[in-house]
Structure 1
Amino acid sequence: MSIATVNPATGETLQTFAALTKEEIEERILAADAAYRGYRTTSFAHRQERMRQAARLLEEDLEAVARMMTLEMGKTLVAARAEAAKCVKAMRWYAEHAEELLADEHPSLADVKDSGGARVLVRYRPLGPVLAVMPWNFPLWQVVRFAAPALMAGNVGLLKHASNVPQTAVYLEDLFRRAGFADGCFQTLLIGTGAVEEVLRDPRVVAATLTGSEPAGRSVASVAGDEIKKTVLELGGSDPYLVLPSADVERAAKVGVTARVQNNGQSCIAAKRFIVHAKVYDDFVEQFVRGMSRLAVGDPMDEATDVGPLSSERGRESLEELVEDARERGASVLCGGRRPAGRTAGWYYEPTVLADISARMRIDQEEAFGPVATLYRASDLDEALRLANDTPFGLSSNVWTRDADEQERCVRDLEAGGIYFNGMTASHPGFPFGGVKRSGYGRELAAHGLHEFCNVTTVWHGEPVMY
């Protein structure tokens, strides 16, 4: 795959980039290693000011950055602005909270005494250069949610971004440089997928994080495992959206539309499988299908557009294959199910709702990465939970119920890294984010994401410390 910006709304190639040579890759890894040796000893105050400056600069650049993301991967301009603003928020959150979250921890005096020590503490120390392999769907946010905690912890970053968002990748390196981070603290590697293994095997690269497809996760995890290096993986999901009898059905249907088509439907945490109790099924489906049918599909630069194009021609073809397989095996198409009429350019696909889903259909187990929702009818909570967990993924989940016992049951039994009641899943810098099963392992954001790439060090003193 070439490293290029191709406008998904038109199919036009706007800019191409040359991949780094082996010599250039070596120069960047060498620079990262050298930068880490100095940066790891900097104060929190120093890192905090640099991160705050990065947030200020991004805020100033927000409109230009939003347009760049829209041109590169097709998200609506409204969504792109929101993504950039979310990154500003995360940078400021980590600048404000990192020091307290990385403060020394002190075990209980009883345990210290029992160990025979005079004083014990646990210190969070940085690891070194971390490789981040990031996807195109949230080209700024996915990177910042790694970079902000990693840099505040004293690590340095090497970014291998998706090949269709090179301008965003280059911008991110420039942003951290302009913010005052030392040369080598955060660098973009314009390389193809085939070059990732060699970078990851380099002994100066100590860990990796990846957000992307299941095959990509397997590849990175296997190499990192062979090298005994820490990894954090977020590999997508097929999130359930449960609607139970006590739900506000009108609100659940309205939010459900947004939850499905956010980012043109290309979101790991988008609601994908709508599991609705039989008592409210007809009411929900009527309102949900009506809402999906009314969405405006069009130019993502137009403020009135609800759903823009998919990011690539292959992405649209993959979605079409899933829908056609379901249709051929008996699924009912309640709306959409095709390319918009009259559009000869761009990779658009109509918001689609499929019902009568069976286990014979690929879409029952595979993630649909686009504006396609599947409907399931559940006779009771037991069946709803069984359907919700009947997937290889376990990233997040949404449940609409006002019943406290049902909520507690869902917290106990849903196999997911997140459970959102009476609302849609949305990541926040203060809450841990990640999944189980084939959605990956490890956590991003909050203190958990900050600690993932730290050397959690026990410091034991056998004699009183002189001050």
Structure 2
Amino acid sequence: MTMIRCVSPVDGEVYAERPAIPLEMARQAVAHARLAQKAWARRPLDERVKLVLAGVARLNEMVDEVVPELAWQMGRPVRYGGEFKGFNERSNYVASIAADALKPLVVEESDRFERRIAREPHGVVFVIAPWNYPYMTAINTVAPALMAGNTVILKHASQTILVGERMVRAFIEAGVPADVFQNLFLDHDTTAALIAAKSFDFINFTGSVEGGRSIERAAAGTFTGLGLELGGKDPGYVMEDADLDAAVDTLMDGATYNSGQCCCGIERIYVHESLYDAFVEKSVAWVSNYKLGNPLDPETTLGPMANKRFAATVRNQVADAISKGARALIDPKLFPQDDGGAYLAPQVLVDVDHSMEFMREETFGPAVGIMKVKSDAEAIELMNDSRYGLTASLWTKDAERAARIGRDLETGTVFMNRADYLDPALCWTGVKETGRGGSLSVLGFHNLTRPKSYHLKKVTA
């Protein structure tokens, strides 16, 4: 029997483990979800919405268990209180728009014809959630999928193995039927076999580019709809008219919060030459104030990375950049807790360029590179010089300028004077190797349903 284990970054020991279920048992679970789906979809929309929100509320009641569990599983400091703010914001917003997002598009309603386009649930939706924000990323799909009348199978990353179990428990305790929302512990082979057998009607995956490719290969020929949010190398651009202190505060937080393990975290920054020296100086001072340590200590502001192999990737990229001429500005003596394993000091690099992997490939850690630029054109070229495209953060007082630059950027979201945020009213989407599809907003509901046309000719005397 295959065991799925979470090795805690706190102490390097196994924190939790669960047996992966056999393929036949997984098939039975999916079959139960399929049998339950029609009855669930026939329930009134407002009833489904209320049950989902009740599940959200029940999870909130578990805060005292959830927060330390997250610290043990993936290292986020308890002082930040888990993910409830974003989790609740996203759930409440999609609930508020569900009726409008799912209502039919009426083309004609006359004494001769009724013509409309309805939104039908796909059926069984499979959500494969990541470890870095395991509750928020899951709810992006789980909440609207259930509200739209789908049943949901949830599979979480091994690093946060307890999250799916706890999330489903909360929803079931709140009244969601057990077959409607299920958590399964699956290994990779069983997952691939289920996908290849067309067990699901829609699959949403958040994770690595290679993980996305594996899912596409497994789904080849099944015509199963896919939503994929994959890698990122999100840039910031600080223009000469930017609010310098606000830019430093937001971009450095965006680069290092959650130990840099954010899909839309800032990994590279381009600063106009007139502000470059001041921006770098202030950024180094900002990052130097972190306290690296045990995430269960309320005084800790920067916890370990989720796994020592993730930290090794960051160290290797930084070392490679330094070997090619980059300079590291954060004094390692400020962070004696850096143990060469999961506990990793933050870092700011200058004298970087795009010949370095550090400025091209996803780092996913608390390290950022800063480059000097002379013009918008140079900044645009550098920001687009990436195989990823999730968000870009523009810093200026001129909204028209930001919009003009945004039109030339190859990215899913353009921010002005903010970063590292998911607005549930807007579609969360990416381009290039960041993925395909989109979640949240009205469009998120559309991705979790299919159009169905009704052309009804009325009998007339």
TM-score, normalised relative to structure 1: 0.94
Matched, 1:300 2:295: yes
Between the aligned partners of 2:118 and 2:459, the Cα distance in structure 1 is 18
Partner of 1:61: 62
Q: Superposition pairs for residues 271-350 of structure 1, below 5 Å?
A: 271-335=266-330, 340-342=335-337, 344=339, 347-350=342-345
Between the aligned partners of 1:396 and 1:158, the Cα distance in structure 2 is 29
Deviations 1:118-139 (CA, angstroms, capped at 9, x unpaired): 2311100101111111110011
Partner of 1:45: 46
Partner of 2:163: 168
1:350–1:371 contact (8 Å) kept in structure 2: yes
Q: Superposition pairs for residues 55-454 of structure 1, below 5 Å?
A: 55-81=56-82, 83-107=83-107, 118-335=113-330, 340-342=335-337, 344=339, 347-454=342-449
Between the aligned partners of 1:28 and 1:404, the Cα distance in structure 2 is 51
Deviations 1:221-275 (CA, angstroms, capped at 9, x unpaired): 2322321110011002111110000001111111111111121100010111111
Between the aligned partners of 2:216 and 2:203, the Cα distance in structure 1 is 9
Partner of 1:5: 6
Stretches of structure 2 that go unaligned for 5 or more consecutive residues are none
Between the aligned partners of 1:435 and 1:337, the Cα distance in structure 2 is 35
Deviations 1:284-343 (CA, angstroms, capped at 9, x unpaired): 111011111121111212222221100001111111111111111111111157994355
Compute the displacement of 1:90 (Å): 2.3
Question: Once structures 1 and 2 are overlaid, which stretch shifts more, 18-27 or 306-315?
Answer: 18-27
SS in 2 for 1:267: coil
SS in 2 for 1:397: strand
TM-score, normalised relative to structure 2: 0.95
Structure 1 pair 246–94 and aligned structure 2 pair: CA distance change class (3 A): same
> CA RMSD, aligned part only?
2.2
Between the aligned partners of 1:145 and 1:124, the Cα distance in structure 2 is 19
Question: Once structures 1 and 2 are overlaid, which stretch shifts more, 346-355 or 263-272?
Answer: 346-355
Compute the displacement of 1:388 (Å): 0.7
Compute the displacement of 1:371 (Å): 0.1
One-letter amino acid of the counterpart of residue 37, structure 1: K
Deviations 1:137-159 (CA, angstroms, capped at 9, x unpaired): 01111111110000000001111
Report percent identity of matched pairs: 28
1:239–1:396 contact (8 Å) kept in structure 2: yes
Structure 1 pair 465–373 and aligned structure 2 pair: CA distance change class (3 A): farther
Compute the displacement of 1:344 (Å): 4.5
Between the aligned partners of 2:19 and 2:449, the Cα distance in structure 1 is 34
Deviations 1:165-191 (CA, angstroms, capped at 9, x unpaired): 111121112122112111211111101
Structure 1 pair 129–460 and aligned structure 2 pair: CA distance change class (3 A): same
2:8–2:74 contact (8 Å) kept in structure 1: yes
Compute the displacement of 1:72 (Å): 0.7
Structure 1 pair 338–236 and aligned structure 2 pair: CA distance change class (3 A): farther
2:240–2:275 contact (8 Å) kept in structure 1: yes
One-letter amino acid of the counterpart of residue 27, structure 1: Q
One-letter amino acid of the counterpart of residue 4, structure 2: I
Between the aligned partners of 1:210 and 1:223, the Cα distance in structure 2 is 13
Between the aligned partners of 1:169 and 1:345, the Cα distance in structure 2 is 31
Between the aligned partners of 2:332 and 2:236, the Cα distance in structure 1 is 21
SS in 1 for 2:322: helix
Between the aligned partners of 1:267 and 1:366, the Cα distance in structure 2 is 14
Deviations 1:368-423 (CA, angstroms, capped at 9, x unpaired): 11100011111111101111111111000100001244212222111111111111
One-letter amino acid of the counterpart of residue 244, structure 1: M
SS in 2 for 1:20: coil
SS in 1 for 2:451: strand
One-letter amino acid of the counterpart of residue 377, structure 1: K
SS in 1 for 2:290: coil
Matched, 1:32 2:27: no
